[in-house]
Amino acid sequence: MSDAVLVTHDDGLAIITINRPEKRNAINGAVSEGVCAAVDELDARDDLRVGILTGAGGTFCSGMDLAAFVRGETTRVPGRGLLGIARTPPTKPLIAAVEGYALAGGFEAMLACDLVVAGAGASFGLPEAKRGLAAAAGGLLRLPRMIPQRIAMEMALTGDMVPAERMLAYGLVNELVETGGALAAATALARRIIANAPLSVAASKRVIVESQDWSTEEMWARQEEITRPVLRSADAKEGSAAFTEKRAANWSGK
């Protein structure tokens, strides 16, 4: 992995940092490949439970590196899109810790995450229309499912930046903290998730993500397919025993 992406692991948590502050963490090929490799490692390792995606130098990500695009450089992972998460987000929870700009592909990367913590000074937007481009890395598809359609339409058609406070009001941001505090708050949120049973967390995320396309007729049966193994697991018994015995649970992931 190149220096364009830095990864640290700490007690179940993977912190993935886009490290091109001199370019406002614009996405080139090395960034896409690096983040993709990091989220693949997150999913592959049993000792890693939650990931945080953030950016160095006070900026989350300003989007695709337009100079690299003009040069003809591939800025996407083949078959998986921008950062390797646009089309194939990780199965484990991924939290975006946003400071500064989350624009274009950077905003779309945030949309591919499950939870968002933002610093008060953060700005969000899809400026592709201002550059003769289109937000085809998930912005046009995911955003209208997450906030009111007319607001998504406004953002896509004007390309204007939107402050963090407005994104919080629309529910796109989970928590708004003081500028500079996003990573610490995201880490605290991750620790709350890591404290829970791995099978329960995995099944809960899967049902919430996949059920968007389920019909009313099939949704209960499909949910049962995913949650039945959780309810029959050793961790289900352990969690109940820990509650009745007033102690911390010792999760086995089985």
Q: Which residues are catalytic, by number?
A: 108, 128
Q: Which amino acid is at 59?
A: T
Q: Specify which residues 84 forms β-bridges with.
A: none
Closest CA to 162 of 181, 143, 134, 177: 143
Distance (Å) of CA 43 to CA 50, 51, 84, 90, 93: 9, 9, 13, 6, 9
Task: State the pairing for strand pair 81-82/115-119.
Answer: unpaired
The tokens describing 247, both together, are 């102690």
Closest CA to 117 of 59, 177, 157: 177
SS3 sequence of 127-138: HHHHHCCCCCCC
Beta strand ranges found along 104-167 (DSSP E): 115-119, 123-125, 162-163
Q: Which amino acid is at 16?
A: I
17 Cβ contact partners less than 8 Å away, ≥ 6 residues apart? 5, 6, 7, 8, 54, 55, 56
